[in-house]
């Protein structure tokens, strides 16, 4: 509760009885009169925002600007995942000038530097204070159901229940760690997900296999190698942009080239992970350099049998694919410079791609974990969503949210912060702010419809 702002709506404060105040509300009468005004309608708030990370705060800012009563419920602390679900040395992948909301700069981080995870979390606490976000921390939303015979939703939480007209699910793009069922839990090595990795000392002595070569996998492998561990890194298909090119960070290049705004790929299209790092002042992720530092690269991890792990023979192809994405961005950047007559220093050396290391030329296809002394596996293999609390008709047969730009298939329910919600930038700090604006506008429009006729008939649509 230490970062809980204890800020809530006035009506809400008035029913609080203590720090751990219960939310209390009466379930609406089926068919009861209703309008968009919270008090008259029996709705405690117009909008309930579930989750107090960056998405929940962005939503709060836009709702406040539009004068919409709302409450943000966060089960832990503001920006909790940045505090307790990231490794110790993690810094933001983008520079401080970029990875932030428009109306607040980092005070303690130089614009071109990379904020530590604690600085990012502190930034969001400061942001919540700045915008006076009505956040209640330590309250978990356990169930949301559509009211029957009355508009809106009935919300149950660890602190009681309330009634809301709209619900925004801002519970994160990365909710439930996913570990592919390849190595049985009792196979020997300690197995953890990247979200549980903190530092090398947490793992038993011995070599470590890191599976996954997105930003998390490469950074964790590097962290372990620098502590003196023997490390194997299982590399799948990836993109790897240059950290800086011609004096500009890749975040800038993706911005001017319109790539952050790239449209959501069609459902089922293959998602390619992106390998970037802000560690140690920021550097281009270069798998050859990682191999040069002593990390043994292997292909995709495919199966496990009799203590032996097998890897696909795709390492060379994956490295080449990453190189191609890197060189493509340099080409596009050069074309942009030429087209706009910019005076940015040429950087021909950036195009030099070194020779493949031995582990790429002659890739390991099998590894006996005991012989290799592998005592731990860190699975940097991504996340799934978990909306077990949201009992509405807004999911497809695979449990994935059905929505368009966050506006769900269930009227009144919104999703925010999901990868590719509207564009590439949607799950990133700066991108979610723009998506929240769209969702807030949608809610205002809906409120307009719902208010129509309320004055004369006493009931909204």
Which run of H or of E encompasses 49?
strand 45-50
Stretch touching ligand FAD by CB under 6 A, among 160-168, 170-178, 222-230, 449-457: 170-178
**Site map 115..154 versus ligand FAD, x via CB under 6 A:** -------------------------xx-------------
Size of the site for ligand FAD (CB under 6 A): 33
Residue 222 binds ligand FAD (CB under 6 A) = no
Strand spans (E) along 259-373: 273-274, 296-298, 301-305, 308-311, 366-368
Closer residue to ligand FAD (CB): 216 or 375: 216
Output the six-digit token pair for 273. Answer: 């992970």
Residue 94 binds ligand FAD (CB under 6 A) = yes
Residue 433 binds ligand FAD (CB under 6 A) = no
Stretch touching ligand FAD by CB under 6 A, among 87-95, 241-249, 318-326, 356-364: 87-95
**Site map 384..423 versus ligand FAD, x via CB under 6 A:** -----x---------------------------x------
Do 258 and 235 contact (CB within 8 A), yes or no? no
Cα separation, 337 vs 324, in Å, equals 20
Output the six-digit token pair for 277. Answer: 């790092």
Cα separation, 95 vs 105, in Å, equals 11
Binders of ligand FAD in range 35-74 (CB under 6 A)? 50-56, 73-74
Closer residue to ligand FAD (CB): 42 or 51: 51
Residue 156 pairs in a beta bridge with 143, 161
Kind of pairing between the strands at 308-311 and 160-169: unpaired
Stretch touching ligand FAD by CB under 6 A, among 93-101, 281-289, 399-407, 446-454: 93-101
Cα separation, 204 vs 201, in Å, equals 7
Stretch touching ligand FAD by CB under 6 A, among 23-31, 75-83, 232-240, 336-344: 75-83
Do 278 and 93 contact (CB within 8 A), yes or no? yes
Residue 193 binds ligand FAD (CB under 6 A) = no
Runs of H (alpha helix) within 250-389: 250-256, 287-292, 315-340, 358-361
**Site map 252..281 versus ligand FAD, x via CB under 6 A:** ------------------------------
Instruction: Give the shortest CB-253-to-ligand FAD separation in angstroms.
Output: 16
Helices (H) and strands (E) in the chain, counts: 12, 24
- Determine which residue in the list 3, 41, 93, 273 makes contact with ligand FAD, applying CB under 6 A: 93
**Apex CA 421: angle with CA 417 and CA 427, to 5°?**
40
Which run of H or of E encompasses 219?
helix 215-226
Instruction: Give the shortest CB-458-to-ligand FAD separation in angstroms.
Output: 34
- Determine which residue in the list 163, 277, 427, 447 makes contact with ligand FAD, applying CB under 6 A: 427
Cα separation, 455 vs 310, in Å, equals 69
Instruction: Give the shortest CB-183-to-ligand FAD separation in angstroms.
Output: 22
Strand spans (E) along 364-409: 366-368, 374-379, 383-384, 390-391, 403-404, 407-408
Instruction: Give the shortest CB-24-to-ligand FAD separation in angstroms.
Output: 18
Residue 75 binds ligand FAD (CB under 6 A) = yes
Output the six-digit token pair for 193. Answer: 């997900």
Residue 81 binds ligand FAD (CB under 6 A) = yes
Q: Rule CB under 6 A: which residues touch ligand FAD?
A: 50-56, 73-76, 80-82, 86, 92-94, 99, 140-141, 170-174, 216, 389, 417, 427-429, 432
């Amino acid at each position: 509760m230490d970062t809980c702002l204890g800020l809530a709506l006035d009506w809400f404060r008035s029913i609080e009885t203590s720090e751990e105040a219960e939310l209390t509300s009466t379930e609406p009468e089926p068919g009861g009169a209703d309008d968009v005004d919270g008090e008259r309608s029996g709705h405690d708030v117009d909008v309930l925002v579930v989750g107090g990370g960056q998405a929940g705060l962005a939503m709060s800012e836009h709702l406040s600007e539009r004068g919409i009563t709302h409450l943000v419920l966060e089960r832990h602390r503001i920006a909790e995942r940045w505090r307790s679900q990231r490794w110790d040395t993690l810094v933001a992948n983008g520079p401080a000038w970029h990875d932030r909301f428009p109306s607040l700069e980092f005070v303690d981080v130089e614009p071109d530097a990379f904020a530590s995870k604690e600085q990012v979390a502190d930034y969001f606490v400061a942001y919540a204070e700045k915008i006076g976000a009505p956040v209640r921390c330590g309250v978990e939303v356990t169930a949301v159901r559509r009211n029957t015979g009355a508009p809106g939703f009935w919300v149950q939480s660890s602190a009681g229940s309330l009634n809301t007209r709209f619900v925004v699910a801002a519970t994160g793009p990365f909710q439930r760690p996913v570990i592919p069922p390849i190595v049985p839990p009792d196979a020997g090595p300690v197995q953890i997900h990247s979200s549980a990795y903190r530092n090398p000392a947490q793992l038993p002595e011995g070599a470590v296999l890191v599976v996954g070569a997105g930003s998390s996998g490469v950074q964790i492998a590097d962290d372990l190698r620098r502590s003196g561990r023997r490390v194997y890194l299982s590399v799948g298909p990836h993109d790897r942009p240059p950290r800086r090119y011609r004096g500009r960070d890749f975040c800038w290049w993706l911005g001017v080239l319109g790539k952050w705004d790239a449209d959501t790929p069609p459902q089922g299209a293959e998602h390619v992970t992106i390998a970037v790092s802000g560690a140690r002042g920021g550097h281009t992720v270069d798998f050859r350099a990682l191999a040069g530092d002593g990390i043994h690269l292997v292909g995709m991890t495919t199966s496990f049998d009799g203590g032996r792990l097998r890897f696909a023979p795709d390492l060379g192809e994956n490295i080449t694919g990453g190189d191609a994405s890197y060189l493509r961005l340099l080409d596009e950047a050069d074309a942009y410079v030429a087209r706009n007559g910019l005076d940015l220093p040429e950087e021909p050396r950036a195009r030099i791609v070194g020779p493949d290391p031995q582990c790429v030329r002659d890739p390991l296809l099998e590894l006996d974990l005991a012989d290799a002394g592998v005592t731990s596996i860190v699975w940097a293999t991504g996340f799934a969503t978990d909306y077990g609390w949201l009992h509405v008709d807004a999911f497809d047969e695979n449990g994935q949210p059905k929505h368009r730009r966050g506006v769900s298939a269930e009227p009144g329910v919104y999703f925010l912060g999901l990868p590719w919600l509207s564009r590439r930038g949607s799950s990133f700090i700066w991108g979610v702010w723009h998506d929240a604006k769209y969702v807030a506008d949608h809610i205002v429009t809906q409120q307009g419809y719902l208010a129509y006729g309320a004055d004369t008939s006493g009931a909204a649509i």
